[in-house]
Amino acid sequence: MKTEIYERLKTLHNKYGPQEFGKICQKFLAIAFQEAGYSCVAESERGVQGVDIGEVERGDEKYSIEVKTTITAHINYEQKDEEGLIYKKRQGYQPVLAVLKLDRFSHWLFARSDKLKAGRISIISLRAYRLDNLEGEISRYFDEAVKEHYENTLEGGQNYLDTVLRQIRNKGNKS
């Protein structure tokens, strides 16, 4: 990923810790999807469906996204993650695991997760399931979102991004 994006994310990670950082990245991603023209990004609460971003739609494209951030080479794909996405698959959404390793040479990896089994998964193995085009497109918007909202996020954390998302949704609803 770009150096400036990496450094900003690193600063956020150092300030807020891994859990909070994960949430922040989810919200940046949600903003990215919105900016890319996807609609109805319902950032579901955990425990309801158990899906992070929820469903995103743009024309025929329908995805249900589970976001994972890490600094290692693996992610833990939990049973509830799997169940949540399977549930969404039944509703017609392509389950997607969105993984970001916080590393200068890494970038968002969007993997079709319908064939994945719960457990410890190496990030490199997810490459077999990549959705290249979606990755490329959303990564650009993600970078822009980070650039635009970094300073305020550093100050206000998730709460600030929640405000931004509400504003974007409201704008979308009005139009």
Partner 1 sequence: MLGIKKLKIKGFRGYVEEKEFSLETPVILLFGENHRGKSSTLNAIEWCLFGNECIGSNTGIRERIDWEIRNRNLPSRDEVFVELELTDGNNVYKACRKFLSKTKCNLRLTLPDMSSLEGTDAEKKLAQILKSSSFRDFLTTVYQHQEAIRYILTQEPKDRNDAIDRLLGLSDYRNILSGIDAAGLNRMQNELDNSFQGFKERIEVALRTRERDLQDKRRDAIEMGVEKNYINERGALVIAKTVKDELTKFASETGLTLRDLPLPDNWKELKHKFLDVMDKEITRFRSEMPDVKREKELHNKKSQIISLQSEYDTKNRKLKTIKEEFDKFIKEHGNEEKLNNTKSDIEKQLAAKEKEMKEVNAKGKTIDDAIGYLRMEGVNKNICPVCGKEYPDLLSHLEQEWDKKYKDQMGTIKDEIEKLRKEKEKVESLLKKEKELTNDFERAKKDIIEVNKKIGELLNKEITEKDDPFVLLNKELEGIDHELNLSKDSIKSRQEKLNDIQAKVAIINQIVDILNLEEKKKIVEEVMQTEEYKLIEEQKDKMAELVNNVNKIKEAINRVSFEDAKNKIASAGKRISDLFCKITSNPAVREIELSVNVDSRTGKNNYEFKDQDGKDLIPVLSQGDLNALALSIFLGLSESLNNQFGFIMLDDPSQSLGSDYKEKFIEILDAIAGSRTVIISTMDKELQDSLEKNLTKAKRKYNFTGWSPQTGPEVKEETG
The contact set with partner 1 (CB under 8 A) reads 1-3, 6, 73, 103-105, 122, 124-130
Give the nearest distance from C-beta 95 to partner 1 in angstroms.
17
Smaller CB separation from partner 1, 114 or 162 = 114
Handedness of CA 128, 133, 119, 71 (dihedral sign): positive
How far is it, in rounded angstroms, from Cα 38 to Cα 81? Answer: 22
Give the nearest distance from C-beta 107 to partner 1 in angstroms.
9
Classify strands 109-112 and 94-101 as parallel, antiparallel or unpaired.
Answer: antiparallel
**Do residues 168 and 31 touch, judged by C-beta distance below 8 A?**
yes
Give the nearest distance from C-beta 128 to partner 1 in angstroms.
4
Smaller CB separation from partner 1, 52 or 135 = 135
Smaller CB separation from partner 1, 3 or 19 = 3
**Do residues 104 and 3 touch, judged by C-beta distance below 8 A?**
yes
User: Which amino acid is it at 73?
Assistant: A
The DSSP bridge partners found for residue 67 are 98
Smaller CB separation from partner 1, 48 or 124 = 124
Q: Which two tokens stand for residue 125?
A: 């193995």
Give the nearest distance from C-beta 168 to partner 1 in angstroms.
27
